[in-house]
Amino acid sequence: MRYFLTFAYNGTPFHGWQRQPNASSVQQTLEEALSTLLRREIALTAAGRTDTGVHAQKMVAHFEADLSAEKEANLVHLLNRYLDENIAIHDLLRVQPDAHARFDATARTYEYHLGYSKQPFKQGLVYGVPTALDIDKMNAAAQILLEYQDFEAFAKKHSDVKTFLCDISYARWESKEQGAIFTITANRFLRNMVRAIVGTLLEVGRGKISVEEMHQIIQSKERGEAGYSVPACGLYLTEIHYPERIYTP
């Protein structure tokens, strides 16, 4: 039987999702927990990879296992007892035998969290920006993203990808009491893309880049024309969308 596991994690203590030699990863931590509890080696395939320090409010990964009804019903509880406070398991879902956590995802949503003042209780969870920002201009520039599909200007250099095309369906800033949150949804994202977009939009909010210059930056397809990449600490994967057909009753 194939299952989707949905879970959240604080990315601060991990070197990203993917297994790495001599470094702690979310994938290794979860695979070891599942393998211990199920008494067989379990391999997880996730919806995507998050970099070092990036958080996930919702991540999805699939795995194969022959579970008894009792084990299936109790596995979420057992995992949450076994794992420390940095990972929380949300759900275990039966899916079709060919369902794929990465390739069947139709869209992904990220948030980037800013803080306008020192917030000691959110250290490692928000990016501190002490200067005033023009949210209206940042939103105007964000809407320009929806006019394009090629985002090479925001991709990490020398990325091993076949295409830089992404379909962004939503991009907007929302002011909060002590900061702001940027939400962006697309069918796929390039490596470092969201952090580069946020850094560029922050430059718009500071008046260093005009709203209209966003067109030139995107059309240039040059990473050097865009703004800086913001730190990983404020980035959260918040939602992954799938077609209903992949789930089984």
Question: Would the pLDDT of 48 be above 80?
Answer: yes
User: For the chain, how far is it from start to end, CA to CA, in angstroms?
Assistant: 13
For residue 131, what pLDDT is reported?
80
**Common-topology check for domains 2-103 and 107-239:** yes
Contact present, 141 and 172 (Cβ < 8 Å): no
The string of pLDDT tens digits covering residues 130-165 is 888 999 999 999 999 999 999 999 998 767 788 999
Q: Tell me the residue ranges of DSSP E strands in 41-178.
A: 45-46, 55-64, 87-95, 107-115, 127-128, 168-176
Domains of the chain, by residue range, sit at: 2-103, 107-239
Whether the pTM exceeds 0.85: the reply is yes
The catalytic residue among 51, 66, 84, 134 is 51
Q: Which CATH class is domain 2-103?
A: alpha beta
- CATH code of 107-239, in short, is 3.30.70.660
* DSSP secondary structure code for residue 18 in this structure: S
Written as six digits, the tokens of 223 are 């990473």
Whether 51 sits among the annotated catalytic residues: the reply is yes
Q: Which residues is 8 bridged to in the sheet?
A: 88
